[in-house]
Amino acid sequence: MYDGWKIIPGLIIFLILLLFPLWNQAFHPGKAGITPNPELTETAKNAEKCIEPKPFMKTQHMKMLDEWRNEVVRDAERYYKSSEGKEYYKSLQITCLECHSNKSKFCDQCHNYMGVDPFCWDCHIEPKENE
Ligand code: HEC
Ligand code: HEC
Ligand code: HEC
């Protein structure tokens, strides 16, 4: 029977060692790297609050932007009423980037860390709304 009883556990250990970094990375993305540190601009600091509370913004901003886009483009619905009852103009450039004008030190901080690259900037960012 050769040394099968030795080889098989050896193989399993080898595979675990081989796959562990991948597995670890999948469950704790970027853990080994530097943590993202999105910076607030002076405008944002003065405003003190985002459109919705920070934990919501952190996890839901992509959904919010997606909804804004659909509502503006499909329904020409241009105003968002926040949970605090404040109104915001639904615009990536005019609203979000008014406070977060430091895209590379804010949006990109997290996105680079998470490995997401929103394609929005192909069209947005150039202030085409100003035409
Ligand atoms: C009036 C200024 C203002 C506007 C407009 C604004 N933000 Fe914010 N944003 C802030 C401030 C201030 C904070 C930090 C809030 C805090 O610390 O409680 C923040 C926090 C965030 C965070 C969480 C950051 C973190 O460190 O976890 C995200 C994500 C975010 N904003 C995205 C957006 C997006 C997307 C838009 C447009 C839909 C937007 N913001 C519009 C001022 C603004
Ligand atoms: C606190 C960290 C953080 C900040 C700050 C942040 N984002 Fe994000 N963003 C994320 C994460 C995480 C995802 C990916 C979520 C996913 O894959 O489910 C994401 C995804 C997105 C998406 C969807 C991309 C896609 O391909 O699905 C858009 C659009 C987006 N962010 C816009 C912005 C904008 C605009 C800003 C700056 C105003 C910003 N984000 C700031 C963490 C952040
Ligand atoms: C192919 C070009 C293109 C791309 C890519 C694109 N957009 Fe847009 N977006 C537009 C145009 C054109 C409008 C309509 C502008 C208007 O009516 O004011 C628009 C409108 C919007 C609006 C509402 C109006 C405004 O001023 O912001 C939001 C929000 C928006 N897009 C978010 C996004 C997000 C988030 C992404 C990336 C996930 C994205 N867009 C990618 C072209 C694009």
Ligand 2 centroid to residue 111 C-alpha, Å: 6
Whether 60 contacts 52, CB under 8 Å: yes
Whether 109 contacts 35, CB under 8 Å: no
- Residue 2 contacts by C-beta under 8 Å, 6 or more apart in sequence? none
Closest atom of ligand 2 relative to the 117 alpha carbon: 26
Q: 57, 60, 114: which to mutate for ligand 1, most atoms within 8 A of CB? A: 57
Ligand 2 centroid to residue 17 C-alpha, Å: 33
* Highest mean pLDDT of the ranges 16-20, 86-90, 93-97, 108-112: 86-90
Phi and psi based region of residue 117 (left: phi greater than 0; alpha: psi -120 to 50; beta: remaining): beta
Q: Does the structure show a pLDDT above 80 at 21?
A: no
Average pLDDT over the chain, rounded to an integer: 83
Q: Does the structure show a pLDDT above 90 at 44?
A: yes
